[in-house]
Structure 1
């Protein structure tokens, strides 16, 4: 059961301030997917169901803060529930504009500070749209496009989510919820072949060839998920985002990595010695190492 997202959960929240001089700081921003809580989506329970103990790898001292001590670590939250009493009509383009506004407000003093995004599922498509918008209107969104040095995508369906089609989701939801408790706009972009999805991914590819050469890492799942439990009670175990859909075309600055996890826990880690976390750690360290040089070269 997903915890309701309140007004206090929405927007950009600083999880960890950087331990460095202002000139050395980078910004890391994490963005969740649909049907997820902006904080819980990064948390792993290391306790029991009766006595849970949650570990958020974004702010646990020996995890991401240890990898990036000079980073201001933030997460962005938005209303992402598409069924139930808290259902919200939402689109990637809307969330992208709100994300840009939040970044602009929180980076006014240092608009050209290096920026790294960490995104899960739908959150990755929000990041792509935000970067495209920032590039086409640099005067309105100063520094955001030119400062982006790294992108980590966890199970982002660049070519659609094959695991459970939009039609299946729409058939299952009304069996559990009233018609006015189901918002479908956000699901459309997840369908393979969706024109908006294809356009965003194609434009991002062109953008990378023409300008922003940020480091990109795509992580894909190795375990199937019970997608039927999302809205109904019928078990349907499938891969949500395949390797081919979850990975952009490889290049000198685009790489892919497998994680021995399901789609719904590939963005959660319990301790720094887990092999999957070590894989992510190596990627983040590399991005941090090259980010000052990348941003300086663009400026």
Structure 2
């Protein structure tokens, strides 16, 4: 059962501050994690490293021996939004709304360091929010200073760039309406996940055009190898299917996008409990490479901007 998201859970939460001596250096980066729909902003990144009887919940974004150890000079944050579309507290939500709120939060949080390198980590729908936010920031750089120009890395876990095939929107709605009253089901957020959705296609196409720019951000897409019980999300009937296929979960097929398989289902591919897990080791390599390249990438972009202005 997903823990309800309250107003105290939304917005940016700093999980790990950069060391004081690193905060002013060019090696310092901001890392922001964004969850998917129907998930809690904190629990989304947690895995039980113990047993059912004696659980030991680990949030790999903030556990000292996990992401903070991989990125010791980073300020690590997570962004939370209300994403429940059925049941009590269901929200009429859409990607563009969440993206605007994300931009507002980033502008506030990065006011003192607007041009610090920025790396995003996103799961499922959260990846589409990131794409929308970056496109908006690119089109209005004065309104959102440094957000697009300083983004150096993008890590996507199961983001459905061409839709989620596992269970159709109609099936999800029918299952939800069997369990809840009509006014407790808000399906709007599901629209963008439907294969062939016009907004989704335009979003991915528009972002794809930015990939032709020089000094583009590094992109890593992780896709699932195990099926998920999507039927249990909203009902009692089992429906075992893949949610996001390899072809949908990869931003593009070019060599500019790194692609990695995970021996996990859609709903646990973004959860790690120990630094020794093979999948976390793969993620570690990706994050470290992005951080190492970040200062030079940002410098090259601004050098190019000033030399052509």
Q: What are the within-5 Å matches in structure 2 for residues 1-299 of structure 1?
A: 1-19=1-19, 20-23=22-25, 24-210=27-213, 213-299=216-302
Secondary structure of 1:126's aligned partner: helix
Report deviation, 1:252.
4.1
Deviation at 1:92, TM superposition (A): 0.2
Structure 2: distance between partners of 1:21 and 1:4: 34
Question: Aligned equivalents of 1:104 and 1:273: distance in 2?
Answer: 35
| Deviations 1:60-92 (CA, angstroms, capped at 9, x unpaired) | 111101110000000000000000011011000
Shift of 1:105: 0.2
Q: For each residue in 1:99-131, what CA deviation from the matched residue of structure 2 results, as whole angstroms up to 9, or x when unmatched?
A: 000000000111000000000000000000000
The 1:246–1:204 alpha-carbon spacing in structure 2 relative to 1, beyond 3 Å, is same
What is the TM-score normalised by the length of structure 2? Answer: 0.95
Residues 84 and 181 in structure 1, CA contact (< 8 A), matched pair in contact too = yes
Q: Distance in 2 between matches of 1:210 and 1:217?
A: 17
Question: The residue matched to 2:212 in structure 1 has which SS?
Answer: helix
Bigger drift between 184-193 and 243-252 goes to 243-252
CA distance in 2, matches of 1:212, 1:100: 22
Task: Decide which moves more: 148-157 or 250-259.
Answer: 250-259
Q: Secondary structure at the match of 2:273?
A: coil
Residue 13 of structure 2 aligns to a residue whose secondary structure is strand
- Deviating beyond 6 angstroms after TM superposition, the runs of 4 or more aligned structure 1 residues are none
Which structure 2 segments of 5+ residues have no match?
A: 303-309
5+ residue gaps, structure 1, are: none
Deviations for 1:202-230, whole angstroms, at most 9, x for unmatched residues?
00000121356100000000100000000
Post-superposition CA distance 1:29-52 (Å, at most 9, x none): 000000000000000012233432
Which region of structure 1 is more displaced relative to structure 2, 203-212 or 84-93?
A: 203-212
The alpha-carbon distance between structure 1 residues 21 and 97, as it changes in their structure 2 partners (threshold 3 A), is closer
Displacement of 1:25 in angstroms is 1.4
